[in-house]
Amino acid sequence: MSQISGFSKLTKLEKIDWITTHYLSNYPQAKSVIKQYWNSDEALQKLHDEFTENTISNYYLPLGVAPNFEIDGKLYAIPMAIEESSVIAAASKAAKFWLDKGGFKTEILGTTKVGHVHFNFEGNPEHLKAFFNSVKSKFFSETASITKNMEKRGGGIKDIQLINKTDSLKNYYQLYCTFETVDAMGANFINSCLEQFGHTLEAEARSYQEFISEDTYPEVIMCILSNYVPECLVRAKVSCPVSALGDTKEEAERFVRKFSQAIKIAEIEPYRAVTHNKGIMNGIDAVVLATGNDFRAIEAGVHAYASRKGQYSSLTHVKVEDGNFKFWIEVPLALGTIGGLTSLHPLVKLCLAMLNHPSAEELMRLTAVAGLAQNFAAVNSLVTTGIQKGHMKMHLMNILNQFEANETERADAVEYFKTHTVTHSEVINLLKKMRA
């Protein structure tokens, strides 16, 4: 192992030489593997290299498509970037299942995004409140150059509030700021506004008489957006008569009873809720990644929302009334369709074109539906055949690929495991017998 100074200043080939010499000496094929994933188009490779820092290669994920989604009366094929087996198959199966039952319906409940100026103040809270009211208009006027273009698109700063948090942390206050960023993700816009708010807060405070008399002034700690956006919310739902969920009345009622109980378990049992919501995020993250959005931010915000009532709980809910089955999700999704990778990454641009160049609100709707579809498919499997049947069928292909099975071996293995349980050891044993 070795330290290095100036690594970022090395060329890509020099970085590779260094990393393979000092950290991959036990992996002789390292350089060929790294270069194997370079794009032969030099301009495209340069574009990818500049997405982040210290790049040495590309890391590929499969890009798949889940067709047959009827959403608010329109048909979509949804792009999904994910490496996990059975996710896209499950989403596609759910889409087809609901296709003749009215499809998916969605509703935007809000598009507000949030940021804060976090600061300390040791003086009189009433003086701080009076000061804030006297300078609030300056927060808007002194960010006019930043907000001008956003306002032309229908966005901008919505409101700024002074929040006293001293009950939770000594001397701690915040400016709670809300924004509308329309079709942009808005992170740079929001953070630029917040940093100007911080400058204005400290500068104006220096000439405020009450602070001068007390010789105490607000001290800005940090200015940063929040990825918790409970007011940037979308609902997606499906519904149909209970009778449509089985071949017989008894079968349909049994399915609904078990499905409803499974959802209610996830509502009250955090151990189950975490896995339940992970399945939802399989669908959501795959669309977020395919469309060039920040899946880490979405994950953090969604899981915070799932805990908003003091206990981690299911994001999906179910109700049966008057003979009708209703299943829905409400999820915060701060997404964008302009800026960032959406205008740079060729496959992201392709995916957005596949979705007919959606607005941010439309992308919120489609992404929420992907999460709901994924959850329906997973719970459907859990309460009927069990989750492993479909999952292990896909996993079989991964194991066969790992051991470089030829086409004959693959076909024979698929036939064999139609009537046998797929396990890693059992697949190995079968291959050994075939090759004996």
First to last CA, the chain: 43
Of 84, 100, 122, 214, the catalytic one is: 84
Six-digit token string for 100: 């003749």
Six-digit token string for 120: 């300390």
Catalytic residue list contains 391: yes
Bridge-partner residues for 81, per DSSP? 63
Catalytic residue list contains 278: yes
69 by Cβ neighbours in 10 Å (0-12 / 13-18 / 19+) ranks as buried
47 backbone dihedrals φ, ψ, rounded to 5°: -60, -45
Q: Beta strand pairing status for 74-81 and 63-71?
A: antiparallel
97: Cα within 13 Å, side-chain hemisphere: 18
Of 12, 105, 278, 395, the catalytic one is: 278
Name, in order, each residue with C-beta under 8 angstroms of 362's C-beta and a sequence gap of 6 or more: 355
Q: How far is residue 347's CA from residue 291's CA, in Å, rounded to a whole number?
A: 8
H/E element holding 78?
strand 74-81
Provide the 8-state DSSP code for 113: E
Q: How far is residue 215's CA from residue 209's CA, in Å, rounded to a whole number?
A: 9
Catalytic residue list contains 294: yes
Of 276, 294, 345, 362, the catalytic one is: 294
Six-digit token string for 105: 């319906």
Bridge-partner residues for 117, per DSSP? 175, 223
- CA distances to 13, 17, 405 from 35, in Å: 10, 12, 25
Rg (CA), the chain: 27
Catalytic residue list contains 267: no
Q: How far is residue 207's CA from residue 5's CA, in Å, rounded to a whole number?
A: 45
Provide the 8-state DSSP code for 11: -
Of 15, 276, 345, 391, the catalytic one is: 391
The residues assigned a catalytic role are: 84, 278, 294, 391
